[in-house]
Amino acid sequence: MQNWLTGIDLGGTKTEVILLDNQSNETFLSGTGLSLTHKLRTGQQLPAHAIVENARNGDPQATETLHEYLEHLARGLAAVINLIDPDIIVLGGGMSNAEQLYRELPAKLPGYVFGGECDTPIVRAVHGDSSGVRGAAWLANT
């Protein structure tokens, strides 16, 4: 895997974007991405929910993989916070079920946002990992 570090300038706001083999953040900030990252780090193929559970139970390899995931997520969300200063960030999809996101992510964000402070709440979507499907169904009926 080859890492590329690039800077982008969006309306005078510079941000750092890490591309892995020219893939977008969305490729790696998902359950599939967590599983791939774990396989690349350890050689062990596990589903995301198993990695999250293993990390919760203190497995050092799973903990390190989840830590790397959280760092990438913090950088990605910090770019959003720096650009549009949202009132709240709502996480959906399968990874939104990982309690570690809501415990550990808020402490990581200040290291990546302008001014070193961040009070933007990060919450789970009301319908959890079904939010995207529900939204798609709603749009199909409109």
Instruction: Mark out the alpha helices in 8-130 (DSSP H runs).
Output: 25-28, 31-42, 48-56, 60-84, 99-108
| Fold adopted by 3-140 | Nucleotidyltransferase; domain 5 (3.30.420)
- Give the pLDDT score at 9: 43
What's the pTM? 0.78
State the average pLDDT over residues 121-134. Answer: 84
Spatial separation of the C-alpha atoms in residues 44 and 73, rounded to whole Å: 22
Q: Would you list the domain boundaries of the chain?
A: 3-140
Task: Give the model confidence (pLDDT) of 62-88 as tens digits.
Answer: 999 999 999 999 999 999 999 999 999
Sign of CA dihedral 28, 34, 35, 39: positive
Q: Tell me the pLDDT of the chain averaged across its residues.
A: 84
Confidence class for position 139, pLDDT limits 50, 70, 90 = confident
3-class DSSP state for residue 95?
Answer: helix
Q: What is the DSSP string of 52-78?
A: HHHHHTT-HHHHHHHHHHHHHHHHHHH
| pLDDT tens for each residue of 22-42 | 667 777 789 999 999 999 999
Across-strand partners of 130? none
